[in-house]
């Protein structure tokens, strides 16, 4: 009997200790944080603030910081329920109505909920502002990167980065998923226009300029709502690594052909082509790096520990954080739990889930308990995220940090910058003496304009404009190329018919035919033929029969294949995807601005010549070689 009592007493003691430790753990995660906690003090060093905050966090709060979900999947109370660290807007992820005020109110509401959590850790809100604040209706839309590559003007790109940061900041957003610093080696890729070109040194130079402009272009502080706000915007180098060099037919994503495919690269190719843009981005103090959907030599980049952890973080000393792409970890392994474990252990710090936060958080929690993901890896990831938030000044900004003046959005200065960028990006591929259009010679005469791209804002802006894929039509404010011609040639009779269905045969006249690809983004834009829409080809044919002189202007996110009729035009102009200020194209056509743009990539004669490495290696001859202009 004494033995039984002794045993029961011992068991009670053990249970008591267990209960006490459990209560202590629970109490620790719920314990109020003192107002003078070191991490709340701006005078304390960032590293000590990170260390102090980490020591106070529960596993739930740490995993929450690693979780990023899309605003469209956010339910009431999710921010506090999951202790979320980040939210994003995907393409087209705008509030309704899509106004500056609505964006401001939405962001303020999100931040208020985050700051009412126990640790009051502010949210980091991210967005794809890849050619201006392109999710915001009526923002200034700049040329896509391929056009800026044609301009090859680092100072211009730096100023565009600063302008984009300013328009984003006006809506309360400070994290941009840009620039894309892929080295584009195959125009069949649906993201080709997101690359500055095929030359690694060009991509490195312009990517660095954008990062510097975006992160340093704003004043250190500004007044808003009577308060001084000091938040530093951050850019993202993407997509790490090799997404511009994937091979046709290697994509395993449904209906994609090359996007998210496989890049074959030996050590020399990595060193000479793929690494330089990222090394230059780190020299420019980029604070976040987004991982590519693509694979490297058969291994999904989201699981590539050697490149993410060993090279990027350890060898190159990257101290910011690595974020996944949209649901990118899901592609690592059919088993979701294994996919999460592989991706986190490879070095991904923040996961763009983007929909089911509960599933991701529960999976992470189980993986940590099962010791498949170590607490050291969790602390490293969360520490990196917190470090960037402290560096940005998010913790120290006023809780209801009002935004800068709304007038910065689509300001006269920004519109002038966009128009300058458009003019500098235009490449004259051919000119048999018909350019520039002379206003005096055209005075009181008729200038004919055709092509569905001439008066279509959506076509000239392309994908990633208001919505993910973009769309034709009057989707946002701006000036079309036709509008620009009317502005610059006020004394000419300008007659427009998209299909070139002109009733009067005026063989001595000149016709400007503006043709364009329909908007697309990512894998949906993968193209085996690189051809223009049939209706645009028909417009060229009709114009060529009706008029003595035809000037062909091409709106595209890449080189397109030109048939004999197109090549026979008296002038051929590559205008890329100029954005909202199409008058910049008219500036070049009329000679108001001298054409200086040069091809940032080889322009193939046929798709059989691709990829572009064949031109670089001298195996094929381009219709128009890289650097070409007339």
Catalytic positions, written as ranges: 325, 522
d(CA 147, CA 153): 11
Measured in degrees and rounded to the nearest 5, phi and psi for residue 371 equal 60, 25
- Bridge partner residues of 551 (DSSP): 512, 571
Query: Cβ(291)–Cβ(322) under 8 Å?
Result: yes
Of 278, 219, 213, residue with least CA distance to 244: 278
Cα-trace Rg, the chain: 27
Centre a 10 Å sphere on the Cβ of residue 399 and count the other Cβ atoms it contains: 13
Of 527, 466, 561, 576, residue with least CA distance to 144: 576
d(CA 35, CA 50): 16
The b/e string for 540-568 (b: 16+ C-beta within 10 A; e otherwise) is bebbbebbebbbbbbbbbbbbbbeebbee
Going by C-beta distance under 8 Å and a sequence separation of 6 or more, which residues neighbour residue 97?
none
Going by C-beta distance under 8 Å and a sequence separation of 6 or more, which residues neighbour residue 564?
none
Q: Taking every pair of C-alpha atoms in the chain, what is the biggest distance, in angstroms?
A: 119
- Strands 227-229 and 222-224 come out as antiparallel
CA 288 to chain centre: 12
């Amino acid at each position: 009997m004494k033995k039984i009592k002794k045993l029961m007493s011992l068991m009670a003691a053990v249970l008591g200790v267990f209960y006490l430790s459990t209560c202590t753990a629970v109490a620790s995660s719920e314990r109020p944080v003192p107002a003078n906690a070191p991490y709340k003090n701006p005078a304390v060093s960032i590293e000590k603030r990170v260390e102090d905050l980490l020591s106070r966090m529960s596993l739930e709060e740490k995993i929450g910081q690693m979780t990023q979900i899309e605003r469209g999947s956010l339910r009431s109370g999710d921010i506090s329920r999951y202790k979320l660290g980040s939210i994003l807007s995907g393409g087209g992820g705008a509030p309704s109505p899509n106004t500056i005020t609505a964006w401001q109110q939405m962001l303020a509401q999100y931040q208020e909920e985050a700051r009412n959590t126990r640790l009051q850790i502010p949210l980091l809100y991210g967005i794809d502002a890849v050619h201006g604040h392109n999710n915001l209706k009526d923002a200034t839309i700049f040329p896509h990167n391929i056009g800026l590559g044609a301009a090859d003007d680092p100072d211009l790109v730096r100023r565009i980065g600063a302008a984009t940061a300013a328009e984003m900041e006006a809506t309360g957003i400070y994290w941009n998923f840009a620039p894309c610093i892929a080295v584009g080696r195959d125009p069949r890729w649906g993201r080709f226009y997101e690359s500055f070109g095929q030359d690694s040194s060009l991509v490195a130079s312009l990517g660095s300029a954008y990062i510097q402009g975006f992160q340093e272009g704003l004043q250190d502080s500004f007044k808003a709502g009577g308060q001084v706000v000091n938040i530093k915007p951050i850019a993202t180098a993407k997509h790490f690594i090799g997404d511009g060099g994937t091979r046709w037919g290697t994509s395993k994503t449904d209906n994609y052909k090359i996007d998210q495919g496989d890049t074959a690269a030996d050590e020399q190719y990595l060193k000479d082509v793929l690494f330089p843009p990222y090394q230059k981005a780190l020299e420019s103090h980029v604070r976040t790096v987004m991982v590519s959907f693509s694979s490297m030599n058969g291994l999904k980049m989201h699981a590539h520990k050697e490149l993410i952890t060993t090279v990027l973080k350890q060898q190159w000393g990257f101290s910011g954080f690595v974020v996944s792409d949209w649901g990118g970890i899901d592609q690592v392994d059919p088993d979701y739990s294994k996919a999460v474990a592989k991706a986190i252990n490879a070095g991904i710090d923040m996961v763009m889930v983007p929909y089911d936060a509960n599933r991701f958080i529960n999976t992470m929690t189980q993986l940590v308990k099962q010791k498949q993901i170590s607490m050291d890896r969790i602390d490293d990831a969360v520490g990196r995220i917190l470090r960037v938030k402290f560096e940005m000044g998010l913790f120290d900004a006023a809780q209801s940090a009002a935004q800068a003046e709304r007038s910065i959005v689509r300001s006269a200065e920004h519109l002038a910058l966009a128009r300058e960028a458009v003019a500098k990006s235009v490449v004259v591929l051919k000119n048999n003496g018909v350019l520039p259009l002379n206003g005096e010679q055209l005075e009181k005469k008729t200038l004919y304009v055709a092509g569905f791209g001439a008066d279509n804002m959506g076509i000239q802006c392309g994908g990633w404009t208001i919505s993910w894929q973009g769309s034709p039509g009057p989707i946002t404010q701006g000036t079309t190329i036709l509008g620009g011609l009317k502005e610059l040639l006020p004394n000419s009779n300008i007659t427009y018919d998209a299909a070139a269905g002109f009733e009067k045969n005026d063989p001595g006249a000149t016709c400007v035919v503006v043709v364009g690809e329909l908007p697309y983004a990512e894998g949906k834009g993968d193209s085996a033929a690189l051809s223009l829409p049939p209706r645009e080809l028909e417009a060229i044919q009709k114009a060529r029969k009706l008029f003595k002189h035809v000037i062909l202007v091409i709106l595209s996110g890449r080189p397109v294949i030109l048939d004999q009729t197109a090549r026979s035009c008296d002038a051929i102009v590559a205008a890329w995807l100029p954005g909202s200020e199409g008058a910049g194209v008219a500036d070049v056509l009329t000679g108001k601005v001298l054409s200086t743009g040069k091809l940032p990539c080889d322009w193939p004669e046929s798709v059989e010549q691709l990829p572009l490495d064949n031109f670089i290696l001298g195996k094929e001859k381009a219709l128009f070689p890289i650097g070409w202009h007339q």
